[in-house]
Amino acid sequence: HFETSAQRPEKAWAFGVNANLPDDIAVSWVKPVEEDFHARFSATARRYRYMLYSNKLRSAILPDGITHTHLELNHQLMHQAGQQLLGEHDFSSFRAAQCQSRTPWRNVHHLNIVRKGNYIVVDIQANAFVHHMVRNIVGSLLEVGCGNKPVEWIEWLLAKKDRTLAAPTAKPEGLYLVNVSYPEKFGLPKNGLGPLFLEDEI
Could you tell me which residues are beta bridge partners of residue 119?
Answer: 53, 116
Q: Is residue 187 part of a domain?
A: no
Share of the chain above pLDDT 90, in %: 76
Residue 68 shares a structural domain with residue 8: no
Tens of pLDDT, residue by residue over 95-141, are: 999 999 999 999 999 999 999 999 999 999 999 999 999 999 999 99
Residue 16 shares a structural domain with residue 60: no
1 pLDDT more than 90? no
Residue 18 shares a structural domain with residue 71: no
- Total domains, the chain: 2
CA 18 to CA 40: how far, in whole Å?
21
Residue 82 shares a structural domain with residue 21: no
How confident is residue 190, by pLDDT bands cut at 50, 70 and 90?
Answer: confident
Residue 3 shares a structural domain with residue 69: no
CATH of the domain at 75: 3.30.70.660
Tens of pLDDT, residue by residue over 155-176, are: 999 999 999 999 999 999 999 9
